[in-house]
Structures are given as C-alpha cells and as structure tokens.
Chain A
C-alpha cells in the first residue's frame, strides 16, 4: 500500500481518492458508452466487456508491432467500432426488426460475449500478456500521488466527457440520438432514420469501449481474455447507479463507484474491491432502482 507510518489518515484517504480518480476515469469512458448505447437500443449490452477486451488486445498487438501508443489507441478504438457495428448489423439488428423481446435480446448479447471472449482466448491464450508504456515516477499533484500517465488518463477522460456533452447537446447527431432514445417510432415519424442513428451510436460507443479497454489493460499492467468481462459488472454498477441510459448520470455513477472501490481497497483487502462495487449496486437497486441521479420528474417522462 506504500503508506508509511508518518502519513496521516486523511492523506491516506486522499491517496485512495487519487487512485479512485484513475479507475473512475476509465470507468466513466466505458459507462458513458454503455449508457449511450442502451439509450437507443434499450438492450444492456452484456458483450460490452468483450468490446473492451478486443480493444485491449488490438492495442497490445499494435504496440508489439509498432511501439506507437497513438496508433495503438486509434486501432483499439477502430476495432471496438467494428465489433459494435457488426454486433448490431448481424445479430441485434435482425432480432430488433422481428420485435424480439428485450430480455431475449439481452440473452443474445450474453451469447455474443461468450463467443468473442472465447475467440480471444483461442487466439491469444489464457495467460496475461504484459503491456506497459514507459511512464515517469509518481508525482504529487495536490494531495494525490499519480504518474504522468495516470494524469493523462484522467485528463483524457475529462476531455471525452466534455466532447460527449458537446456532441449530444449541440450537434445534429446528438439531437437525433436523444430523439431516438426518447421514442424511436416518433423519431422515425419525424424523418430521423432510427437505424442510422443506432449504427452511428454503435460506432461511437464501440470506439469508446475499445479505448477504455486499452487503457484498462495499460493501468492493470496486462491483457487477458476476461479483462473486460471482469470489469463489466463494475461498469453496470456505475451505469445503474447513475440511471442506466442517462449519459450524465453514468459519469456521476462512474465517479462514485471508482472512488469507492479504490478507497475501500485501502481499508479492507483489495480482493474485495469489485465486491464493494457490487454491494453499492445492490444497495442502489434496492433503495433507488431508477438510479441515484435521476429526478422523479425525469422518471415520469
């Protein structure tokens, strides 16, 4: 844990918050993607974790081959988009056209998760493949102790959140996206092509998930086939906490869950880190099933 005897309890706590910000940053990117995608399809994508894992492996392979981090990021995002679009075009789309029950569509995403995860296991094997980029020593920024690499991750996540906000709020795509999320048939009737919006949403969310997966691989020091799957439930916890389908809630949920996980790791065993996230999820579902950050009015609408 690296906390010497001279460190006060308060600064230990703040250190935990600092680590939590890193987790929260990755979590936010992934959760916003999951939430945006859910908003237009109404199906929580259980294969979301596998899009992340694919991004991580593609990033890993790119690094092996080119040693270029920017290229790895671009290809990780591209691979996520391609997988997302493929899932939509070949599997979920046809079922959606037949008005398949949403719960059945959810089962389909589980099957997709099974297929992609095992395809990656087949290709790359089950061992953890080490992945790291040269990073500087941890530096104190305020009360936090973070590496430059971690600072970049937090900054990038913040930038992405702002970009998503701008995209949703001020662009034509954002407006049609929100319209489809509200009511696909009404959007269709007012001349918005719902299927086009859904495809574009998959491109965007796939890219974000791929990026999140690659960054997750970087920060956890290695890539393995269940990387994204293991992280998925934390993503769900954050998404549900924020009100699933609500991108701004997702950001808040990610922050709460990410920080809570890392802070709890300082006090109880870090083995129970994910259990803490799930405990938050279960409590949230029991006491506020509509999400912590949704007003009653929004729920009625």
Chain B
C-alpha cells in the first residue's frame, strides 16, 4: 500500500512542478500557451543526455555524449535548456501576436519541435527516444528498491517545495504584480510605462524553466522518454489540471495536478474496461478531463482555490525583515520645478493623422503652459481623442512635431512617453480588474527597477522597505480620494465613479510632468464631479501640468486656465474662456450662441 502510494505521489510531485510552470504562463501572465509540453519534453531529454554514460556499443551511439553529470548539475542544465528554447520561441511569438493567434503559434511551434525531435535522430535518437537514464544518486546510495523509491520521492518533494516557495515569492513581488497588470490590461500597463513585451517574455521563460525542471523529475522517475510518450494533447490535460485546481493559484496548481492528472487515472483503473482495445481507459480519462474543464468553467470558473489577492498591510513575511538600506529609488519626482523654464511643457506643431481617406487631425498646432490646466474642447469628431492618442503615443502621427519638455516625442510608443513623464487616462476607465485597489495604485509607481524578476528572487531584502513605503504612500492617496473602504476590493468590482477616482489615485502615484485626461467626467454624477475637480487641482498643485478633454463646459470654465478649441481636426481657437467668447469662429463652430452667455 505504502509502495503504491509512494509511486503514485512521485509521479504526482513531478506533475505538480510541471503544472506550476504552466501556472506562471497562463495563471500569472495570462498567456494561452498550447505548446507548453515542449518545454517539459526538452527538460526531460536534456536531463537524460546530460546524465547518461558513454556509449555501450549497442546502437545507442547517436545521442550519448557520455557526460554522466550529477543530478543537480543536470537539472540546472535542463532547466536552462528549456529556458533558452522559451526565450527563442517567446521572443518571436510574444512580439506580434495575441490571444488565440498566439495560442495557435505556440501549438505550431510545438509541432515543429515535435517533428524535428522525432525525425532528426542525431538529436535525441528520433522515434526511439532515449532510455536507460540512470536514477539520480542511485549509484552513490546503497539502498533497497523500496528505500530508493522513498528517497526519490523525498528528493522530488524537496524540489517541489523549493519551486513552490520561489514562485510564491515571484507572485507576491513587484514583478509578479506588474506581470498581472500586463495580463489584466496591457494598454493600461503600457500607459504606466511597463514593458509589456519584456514582462511577458520573462514570465514565459520562467514558466519554461519550471516546466523543464518538472520534465527532469519525470525523466528521473521513468528513465525513458520518446515521441510516443508525449503529444500536443498533454498540454491540454495540464490546462485541465490548472483550471480545476484554480488558475493563478500555486496551491491550486498542485491540487489540480494531484486531482486531475493523478487522481482521475487512478480512479479510472478501478472501473472495468469497456471498449474495444487498450485505448479505452486513457480515452475515458481524457473525456472526463474535458468534461471537467467545461463543468468548472461553467459553474466555478475561478477553480477550487481561486487566485489570491494580496491584502494591504500584510506584506509577505520575508519582506518584513531585512536590511533597511534601500528605499524607493524613484523618490525623485518627475515634476520639474515650477519656475524652472518659461517655455511651454508641451507643444504640438502641425500634427496630422489620417484614417483611410479621412483626416482626423489635419494640421493642429497648440501649446500647453507649465503647471496649467488646459482644456481641449470641441464638438464630437473634432479630433480631440485622436489628439490625446497621438500625444501619448498610442497612435503615431503621419506628420508634425510633438515636443514634451524640450524633447521630440512624436511617433514614440505609449510606454516610452510614459517613462518621459507623460501619463494619460482613457475615456473608459482602464483599471487592472483582478488586482486590488491598493495593488492598482502601487503598481502604477514608475520605478521599474523594483519590478525585476532577479530582485524578486535574489535581492528581496532590498525590496522590503520600498514596498512598505509605497504601500503607505498608496494607502494615503487612496484615503485622500475616499476609497479607503474598498482598498482591498478587486478593482474590477468598483462602481464606475470609484474607478474614475482610482485613476486619479494611480496618477498621484506617478506624479507625471503632464497628465492627459480623456473625458474624466463622462457619466459621473455632480458630487463625484466635484471630487474629481478637487483631485485635478491637487495634482496641479503638486506640479503636474494637466490637459483635459471634456464636454462639461461648466467644469472647463471653472477649472481650466487655458482652453484649446478643436473643430474638424484643426485648432480653431486658443486662449482663456473670456477670449474665446470673442472668437466668432469658435462660437459658431462649437459653443453655439446660447451656451456661453
């Protein structure tokens, strides 16, 4: 009985490590990667090649290098090999494609990899695969068969625990938070200066390394690996485990692996065989897993153990102790001293943008004074939102120059302008729904050095104080905006108005040079409008220059120092409201005879 249990759980521990790897890619980073098992296979193969002895002269010459490396070295090499392959595939696939197309590219990559491995024999001996891989430490230890089984089980559990703890650290680190932000809304993440591609790629590679290590454990247990033992379907089963256990939850990944990949096959062995050949049993298992996926997604899409949210005031233990030597590195505010230069902070010169045959912006020119609140108004279709998109870098202009604080920024991408101190909001609030309010605000902080994967694993103590400080800062901002009551709620569950306020909380965290607000009052009630007006004034007094696209003229009149009026893609007026009232073109085009009186 014990022997049976140990052998089942040995397989279980290896599988759990593999599913943990998938959880980094799909759970943490939201990448539907259908080629994950390739990483596992490569880990297993490389581990086998690294540990096998020299050729025995019986035909196994094609793959044996005779390295005979010890377990720990081999596992590192295998993990690195999977990581390297991930880096190659990821840097191709993650750059251009998203969603289901990305998924299809990953299957395609797996199948290319599969046919290469199985048909090109010098690599891993083609269809024969490799076998006779020595069990780890079997030569060194002098154990009985059962004793060795127990030993190997304990060894695997140790690896599992180490991987689990490291991945928990990653999940709760600034890196993990940033990866989740990219998962939740990549445009918003780019607007806050996150390197969407870099964070995705790192998560992709980390997942691959973990999958490769899982492959090593598998190889160490079964001692052989060949193309017949894996296919694209293997990855789907891993998804089944993760979805049932709880996508995004590491404990859920382990639980799912044990229930779905170990439990179901064990149970299936208990039922009498029905069907016409040996395929009946695995076929039934796979069907059950398929039905489980559908059932869980229907009735409990979050899985048995849902993704955990990090509550404020509960920093992980490892963050509470440690050196005090380092604080937030980017305490430097992006705001330059108010009276530094008299030149405008933002200049737009003859900018044009065409969609098909239609000019959305045709030769707009205006400037924004430092520390002003500038309104950008005009009728629908005047090109205001396009203007915001062009300045922020979400779109690039066909021609023209945009200067931010003395530097030309036209055509630069969103995350680039964001790092230069230009922050924007969107017409529809773009919070990161599955991060808490507090996490949303902390994640907005522009210090990207804190979001390094390396530091989340190996330089954790240096993160501790900055994390404490940022949390205190975030909570203070949240409190100022009256969001304290919902500070630990998921941002996706907030009301429309609260989401608006959250955007201001995030902006306050960034302290940008220029903040572009795209219709911050759309669909907002009068009370909230006042709060937002106060928040805008707060940001300005902290030194931020503000540009607001807004239709609410009373708000524009009260809050804005200068107003830029656009009509049909051109700037038709610029100045104070009083000046604009005298401008006939403006009055006619937009303001109407009655509205300004």
Chain A residues proximal to chain B, CB less than 8 Å: 43-44, 91, 94-95, 100, 102-104, 106-108, 110-115, 117-119, 121-127, 229, 233, 236-237, 240, 244, 269, 271-272, 274-275, 278-279, 281-282, 285-286, 289, 297, 300
Q: Is residue B233 contacting chain A, with contact meaning CB distance below 8 A?
A: yes
Instruction: Please determine whether A114 and B104 come into contact, CB atoms closer than 8 angstroms.
Output: no
B6 shortest CB reach to chain A, Å: 29
B432 shortest CB reach to chain A, Å: 15
Instruction: Please determine whether A271 and B283 come into contact, CB atoms closer than 8 angstroms.
Output: no
A-B contact count (CB 8 A): 134
A279 vs B105: C-alpha distance when bound (angstroms):
10
Q: A108-B294, A111-B294 are in contact. Are A286 and B99 (CB under 8 A)?
A: no
A297 vs B291: C-alpha distance when bound (angstroms):
42
B292 shortest CB reach to chain A, Å: 8
Per-position 1/0 for B308-332, Cβ under 8 A of A: 0000000000000000000000000
Instruction: Please determine whether B112 and A275 come into contact, CB atoms closer than 8 angstroms.
Output: yes
Instruction: Please determine whether B239 and A107 come into contact, CB atoms closer than 8 angstroms.
Output: yes
Instruction: Please determine whether A108 and B293 come into contact, CB atoms closer than 8 angstroms.
Output: yes
B211 shortest CB reach to chain A, Å: 18
Residues of chain A lying within 8 A (CB to CB) of residue B277: 125-127
Instruction: Please determine whether B111 and A274 come into contact, CB atoms closer than 8 angstroms.
Output: yes
Q: Is residue B349 contacting chain A, with contact meaning CB distance below 8 A?
A: no
B221 shortest CB reach to chain A, Å: 25
Query: Please, which residue of chain A has its CB at the minimum distance from the CB of B99?
Result: A103
A103 vs B297: C-alpha distance when bound (angstroms):
12
Instruction: Please determine whether A102 and B290 come into contact, CB atoms closer than 8 angstroms.
Output: no
Instruction: Please determine whether B92 and A300 come into contact, CB atoms closer than 8 angstroms.
Output: no
Instruction: Please determine whether A107 and B108 come into contact, CB atoms closer than 8 angstroms.
Output: no
A212 vs B240: C-alpha distance when bound (angstroms):
29
Question: B104's contact among A44, A100, A113, A229, by CB below 8 Å, is which?
Answer: A44
Chain B residues proximal to chain A, CB less than 8 Å: 32, 34, 92-93, 95-97, 99-101, 103-105, 107-109, 111-112, 115-116, 119, 232-233, 236-237, 239-240, 243, 275-277, 279-280, 282-284, 286-287, 289-291, 293-294, 297-298, 301, 355-356
A233 vs B108: C-alpha distance when bound (angstroms):
7
Instruction: Please determine whether B115 and A272 come into contact, CB atoms closer than 8 angstroms.
Output: yes
Instruction: Please determine whether B104 and A233 come into contact, CB atoms closer than 8 angstroms.
Output: yes
A279 vs B284: C-alpha distance when bound (angstroms):
34
Residues of chain B lying within 8 A (CB to CB) of residue A112: 290, 294
Residues of chain A lying within 8 A (CB to CB) of residue B116: 275
Query: Please, which residue of chain A has its CB at the minimum distance from the CB of B103?
Result: A106
Instruction: Please determine whether A275 and B111 come into contact, CB atoms closer than 8 angstroms.
Output: yes
A185 vs B418: C-alpha distance when bound (angstroms):
35
Residues of chain A lying within 8 A (CB to CB) of residue B293: 107-108, 110-111, 114
Q: A95-B297, A107-B297, A115-B287 are in contact. Are A285 and B96 (CB under 8 A)?
A: yes
Query: Please, which residue of chain B has its CB at the minimum distance from the CB of A285?
Result: B97
A219 shortest CB reach to chain B, Å: 21
A115 vs B233: C-alpha distance when bound (angstroms):
11
A-B contact pairs, 23 of them (CB 8 A): A95-B298, A100-B297, A103-B99, A107-B239, A107-B293, A110-B239, A111-B291, A114-B286, A114-B289, A114-B293, A117-B286, A118-B284, A119-B283, A123-B275, A125-B276, A272-B119, A275-B115, A278-B108, A282-B92, A282-B93, A286-B95, A286-B96, A289-B101
A281 vs B355: C-alpha distance when bound (angstroms):
28
Instruction: Please determine whether B101 and A104 come into contact, CB atoms closer than 8 angstroms.
Output: no
Instruction: Please determine whether B243 and A281 come into contact, CB atoms closer than 8 angstroms.
Output: no
Instruction: Please determine whether B294 and A91 come into contact, CB atoms closer than 8 angstroms.
Output: yes
A271 vs B104: C-alpha distance when bound (angstroms):
20
Instruction: Please determine whether B279 and A122 come into contact, CB atoms closer than 8 angstroms.
Output: yes
Query: Please, which residue of chain B has its CB at the minimum distance from the CB of A289?
Result: B96
